[in-house]
Amino acid sequence: MRKLLLLLSFCLAAAAAAQAQGVRSLPPKGDRGTLGANQPLPQVQIGSNVLRLAPGAIIYDQNNRTIVHSQLPTDVDVFYTKDPNGDVQRMYILTDQEKARLDQSRTR
Report pLDDT digits (tens) over 40-50.
989 999 999 99
- pLDDT at residue 96 greater than cutoff 70: yes
Mean per-residue pLDDT, 12-22: 55
Domains of the chain plus CATH, in order, are 29-107 (2.40.50)
How far apart are the C-alpha atoms of 84 and 70, rounded to whole Å? 25
Q: What whole-number distance in Å separates Cα of residue 83 and Cα of residue 85?
A: 5
Determine the residue type at 22.
Answer: G
Cα 83 from Cα 25, distance rounded (Å): 19
Mean pLDDT of 23-37: 91
pLDDT average, residue stretch 60-79: 94
For 101-106, what is the mean pLDDT? 84
